[in-house]
Amino acid sequence: MLPSIRCRRTNLIRRPCLSARLSTSSVLLANRAIVYSSFGNPSEVLSAITYPDLPPPPSKSLNVKYILSPINPADLNVIENKYHSKPSPVSSLSEGRHKFPEPHYVGGNEGLAEVTEVGPDVTHYKVGDRVVLTKQQSGTWASARTLHEDDVLKIPVGLSEVNPPTAYNMLHSFVEPKEGDLVMQNGANSAVGQAVIQIAARKGIRTLNFVRNRPDIDSLKNYLQSLGATHVFTYDDLKDKETVQNIKTTITKKGTSLMLNCVSGEPTKDMTRLLADSATLVSYGAMSKQPLILPTSLFIFRDLRCRGFWQSKWYEEHSIQQREELMKTLAELKLREPEYEILNLKGTASDEEVAQQVRSVIAKIQEGRYGRKVLLRFEPAQ
């Protein structure tokens, strides 16, 4: 979860241009972004680039400074060119004040930002408002950006989580479980998974949760149970016939009618054995990078229904009033923040040092056992 924090203003420092290709005069390079010019392995293709302070925003637009920007699995899929939504390259991040030698893509899709300046004809936002992004691939791995007012959503004071909307909507948009019902999910230790556990527990809904095995699995199980998880198993348990039979007879009994999937691949297929007839499987990710292949018999004899959910699509289909009502509802739930690690990108570091710092962390994330959500925080470049 993105924590609520206060960011103090820092005086911008004049620094020389990075290269004669960029400018022959001194420019104010106060901002920094994590970018890439071609698709590929994120731990190899990412670089950092500095750019000047933003000019005043145009009509219907806002200048924002990013407080925290998460590194999500989907962000890495985008960089690998393995995601449905594609980013648009930019030649400048400061409205023409400073052009890059070649177009770049800016990484990141989610972020918590603060409005620093509003353009003409903006009536719904003011300086100091905190916002999250509703437009796909807005490029949030940056210290500051100019955004159209339609691409952001104001959030209540105290709410800074980007992922709970996904968790909340999946529990309310398909098969709405009632008190005492059982919901099954994989990726239960993800930010979405932890939100699902908490939202379900508040409603008296039981959860059957699956995670990858790891050396500290008992610690993870205890943590998820402290959030309200009813049962926690590993994907390895699904290979043990006795364990599966025990789950069927003592936990699911008649099976579960709603399953949430962000992993896909073989573990997800194994989990479908625990579903009730006419159950709904909702997919919102594929962290295993494997396809979801299911037996035809599940559809013919068990009447399995498969659906997909994409929070960005939900934003497109709902009004600003409905979006803000959702955020208000989430704020009232006061969900506990998942464990996170803030990667502080120091302003005194060079672009290459910052890029190496980000690439190193992403390489560990790609190994699949990092254990915590990583949030980027940019210091003003010096």
Domain ranges of the chain: 5-160+337-378, 164-311
Quick one: tokens of 84? Answer: 């449905």
The amino acid present at 39, given as its one-letter code, is F
CATH number for the region 5-160+337-378 comes to: 3.90.180.10
- Residue 87 CB burial class (10 angstroms; 0-12, 13-18, ≥19): buried
Tokens 């003409």 locate to 120
The amino acid present at 264, given as its one-letter code, is S
The total number of residues written for the chain in this structure: 382
In the residue annotation, 83 being an active-site residue is answered as yes
Long-range residue pairs from 176-179, CB within 8 A, at least 24 positions apart, any chain: 177/203, 177/205, 177/257, 177/258, 178/205, 179/203, 179/204, 179/205
Taking the C-alpha atoms of residue 44 and residue 11, their distance in angstroms, rounded to an integer, is: 33
Tokens 């241009």 locate to 17
The CATH class of 164-311 is alpha beta
Q: 51 - beta bridge partners?
A: 31
pLDDT averages per 10-residue partition of the chain, 382 residues: 40 32 46 95 95 93 95 93 89 74 90 95 94 92 95 81 83 93 95 95 96 93 97 96 91 88 95 95 92 96 96 91 92 87 94 96 83 88 72
Model confidence pLDDT, tens digit, residues 36-88: 999 999 999 999 999 999 999 999 999 999 999 999 988 999 999 988 888 99
Which of 25, 31, 42, 135 has the alpha carbon at shortest distance from 80?
42
Three-state DSSP class for 26?
Answer: coil
The amino acid present at 149, given as its one-letter code, is E
DSSP symbols for 292-305: ----HHHHHTS--E
Quick one: tokens of 347? Answer: 């302003």
Quick one: tokens of 136? Answer: 């796909």
The amino acid present at 339, given as its one-letter code, is E
Residues 6+ apart with CB under 8 A from 331: 155, 156, 157, 158, 159
Model confidence pLDDT, tens digit, residues 220-253: 999 999 999 999 999 999 999 999 999 998 888 8
Selecting among 36, 51, 83, 315, the annotated active-site residue is 83
Q: Which helix (DSSP H) or strand (DSSP E) does residue 216 occupy?
A: none
Taking the C-alpha atoms of residue 294 and residue 252, their distance in angstroms, rounded to an integer, is: 20
